[in-house]
Amino acid sequence: MSNQPHATCTCLSRLTQARLAPSCGAKTRRCTPCAGPAMLNGRCRMHGGKAKGQTTPAGRERSRAARLVHGLRAAEARQAARERGAARREMAALSALLRELEDLEEGSASP
Ligand SMILES: [Zn+2]
C-alpha cells in the first residue's frame, strides 16, 4: 500500500472525456455520421458495437452459407439449391398423383 493517489487529475470533466472518445461514424438515416461513442470494434451500441457475430460452429456455417452469393464455392451452393428444387418438384408431383389416386378410389367406391 502506498499513500500516493491512484490517478492524477487530468483536469477534464467527464463530459469532455466523453466528447473526446472516438465516435461511431456509421451512416445514419439522415445521412450524417453517427456521433455515438464507439465500442471496441469501432461502432456504437446502435450500429453493431455489441455484436459479436455467430459463436457456435453451426451458427458460423449457417451465416457463411446465407451470405454466399457468388465466388469460388458458389457452384456448390447453386448445385445444392438445384437439387433441393428438383426434390421439391418431385414431392409436389407425387402428392398430386396421390391426391388423384384418392379421388379415383372415392369415385369408384361411391356409385
Ligand atoms: Zn453509431
pLDDT tens digits, residue range 27-86? 999 999 999 989 988 999 999 998 888 889 999 988 888 876 666 777 888 888 999 999
Separation CA 104–CA 88 (nearest Å) = 24
Contact 36, 46 (CB under 8 A): yes
> 53 C-alpha vs ligand 1 centroid, how far in Å?
17
Q: How far is the CA of 37 from the centre of ligand 1 (A)?
A: 7
The pTM for the full model equals 0.39
Helical spans, DSSP H, in 3-110 = 14-20, 57-67, 74-109
For the cut 60, the answer to whether the pLDDT of residue 111 exceeds it is no
28 CA to centre of ligand 1 in angstroms: 8
Per-residue pLDDT of 75-93, as tens digits, reads 888 888 999 999 999 999 9
Contact between 35 and 19 under an 8 Å Cβ cutoff? The reply is: no
pLDDT tier at 26, thresholds 50, 70, 90:
very high
Residue 1 has pLDDT above 80, yes or no: no
